[in-house]
Structure formats: structure tokens, C-alpha cells
Amino acid sequence: MTRAFLAWLIAFCVCGLGIAHARAQETEVVEVRVTSSRPGSAQIDRGTVDGLLVGDHVVFRPRDGSTFNGVVAIVGERSAEVEIADHTHVPAPGTRGEVRVPSA
């Protein structure tokens, strides 16, 4: 490899990281609440009208200060079903959480 090519490659990678970082910051937090649940799954009170998509990462924050994670598996207009990473966990109705969605 020539030095010019190597310099171009490094500049390209740095520029790409900058764009990825800027896109990561173009999000907003959508607050959610558990409306019902069963082992490994929770129904939440937000949906496509709030910007949620299948595959979005959800962080739940129960009152006891712990956290647990899930992924949006099914999304409707005003609600969504979240698959919880710990398939034995049953979150209490009312448990708060958040999802990061694109700002636009």
C-alpha cells in the first residue's frame, strides 16, 4: 500500500466514525410503561405513532433501582410487545422504561 492510500483510508474511517456518532445522537427517548406481562414478555403503551419499530432496544427501570432489557418483537399503532432478555422475568404492570428512536 502506498502512503497516500493509507492516509486516505484512515481519513475515510475517521469520517465514517464521525457520521455514525452524529447519527447516534439524533435520537430521542420515548418513555414507556408496562401495561401487562407474562414470563419473558411485556406489553407496553407505545407503538408506531410514537416512532417504535420492531427490533428497538428497550431498557426497563423498576422502582427497586434495577434494570432489565428487551427488544420490541411486535409493534402496533399504540402498543408493542417486548421480548425480555430474561425469559423467566415477569415485569409488574406500571414498570417504566425507555426506548431510543430517531428524532425525525
Please calculate the CA angle 4-17-103 and round it to the nearest 5 degrees. Answer: 145
- For the whole model, what pTM was predicted? 0.73
Q: Alpha carbon of 84 to those of 27, 28, 44, 61, 77: distances in Å?
A: 22, 22, 12, 13, 20
pLDDT confidence tier of residue 103, bands split at 50, 70 and 90 = confident
Query: Contact 88/35 with Cβ under 8 angstroms?
Result: no
Which residue is it, cell 406500571? 94
Rounded percentage of the chain residues whose pLDDT exceeds 70:
75
Residues 6+ apart with CB under 8 A from 51: 28, 30, 101, 102
The pLDDT tens digits of the residues spanning 63-97 come to 999 999 999 999 999 999 999 999 999 999 999 99
